[in-house]
Amino acid sequence: MLLSILRWPDPRLSQSCAPAVLDADLRSLAADMLQTMYAAPGRGLAAPQVGRLVRMFVMDIAWKTGDPAPIVFVNPKLELLGDRVLGPEGCLSIPGPVTDIERNAEVRVWWTDLEGVAQEGRFDGFAAICIQHEFDHLQGILTLDRLPPEPRAVAEAAVVA
């Protein structure tokens, strides 16, 4: 089922999320989030973006250029690695502006998959950027929050109503 994506400045997007409980409802939510992400069309979507304040996000960085390879991250923990890089980011909850955000070039992530199995992975490039972006959503942080005042004002003015 397609879900509605919350848009900035919805206050739920600025709230920190509670740990997710792995059950049938969460599995159903993950499937709906993937369907919603593909339809949007995006490459990542966090539960708070669809109004569920739990620590889960979905990601598929490959589907636009190759075969789909979705990953569901339940209760992820993140270690920032590598150099800092500046690059463009868009957000399904902030339609319109693409802003340059500084992120780490590499991350290590620990998470639980939908079968309850502990996972660990190291990601770089676009995958690392996407993971940091979605992880920020779980903390109640938006790309706008990472901008200095002047670029933030420009980005806010560019948001599509």
Active site amino acids: 134
Q: Is the dihedral of CA 107, 129, 69, 25 positive or negative?
A: positive
Contact 5, 50 (CB under 8 A): yes
Residue 84: which residues within 8 A CB-CB, separation 6 or more? 102, 103, 104, 105
State the Cα–Cα distance between residues 40 and 43, nearest whole angstrom.
9
